[in-house]
């Protein structure tokens, strides 16, 4: 019982607080749209009725946790794995691309390492670049490498 009280209970308390805050913020974020819809329809529903509708909006600004769980279940369990709308399909696409990148990086890394060990010219030419690449934080490189490469013109909107 002591382990539960000291390790699991604090985590559950924080999760419960986050969920309570999330549910409290759903009406705050989604109420403007409900007011706009009521105004367009020429009706004046009660505030409690509009708040209830904020938890069931089709495309809310801030979806409620139960809406996320429902959609997650529908897009994983309720669809064929081969469907382009299935999260399992997209998870496989992401995993396969990640694994391919890992294999390519591993093979290139091994080839470069073997080349550096066996060739003094490769050692002298590549080692400064390798050391320099390790001094640049990945956070400085990631935003530039995530942009698409534009081959048409440098003034394109991709840059």
pLDDT at position 132: 87
Residue 61: pLDDT above 80? yes
Q: What is the pLDDT of residues 84-99, one digit of tens each?
A: 889 999 999 999 999 9
CA distances to 23, 37, 99, 122 from 64, in Å? 6, 19, 34, 57
For 2-56, how does the pLDDT look when each residue is reduced to its tens digit (9 = 90+)? 777 888 899 999 999 999 999 999 999 999 999 999 999 999 999 999 999 999 9
Sign of CA dihedral 57, 62, 66, 68: positive
Q: How confident is the model at residue 1 (pLDDT cuts 50, 70, 90)?
A: low
- Spatial separation of the C-alpha atoms in residues 107 and 118, rounded to whole Å: 17
Q: Where are the domains of the chain?
A: 2-76, 87-136
Q: Give the CB-side neighbour count of residue 5, counting CA atoms within 13 A.
A: 2
């Amino acid at each position: 019982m002591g382990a539960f009280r000291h390790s699991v209970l604090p985590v559950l308390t924080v999760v419960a607080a986050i969920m309570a805050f999330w549910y409290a913020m759903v009406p705050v974020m989604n109420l403007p749209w409900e007011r706009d819809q009521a105004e367009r329809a020429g009706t004046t529903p009660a505030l409690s009725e509009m708040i209830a509708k904020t938890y069931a909006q089709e495309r809310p600004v801030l979806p409620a946790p139960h809406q996320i769980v429902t959609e997650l279940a529908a897009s994983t369990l309720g669809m064929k794995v081969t469907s382009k709308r299935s999260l399992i399909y997209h998870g496989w696409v992401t995993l396969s691309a990640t694994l391919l990148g890992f294999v390519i990086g591993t093979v290139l890394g091994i080839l470069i390492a073997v080349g550096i060990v066996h060739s003094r010219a490769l050692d002298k030419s590549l080692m400064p670049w390798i050391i320099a690449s390790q001094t640049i934080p990945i956070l400085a490189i990631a935003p530039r490498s995530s942009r698409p490469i534009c081959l048409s013109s440098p003034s394109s909107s991709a840059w």
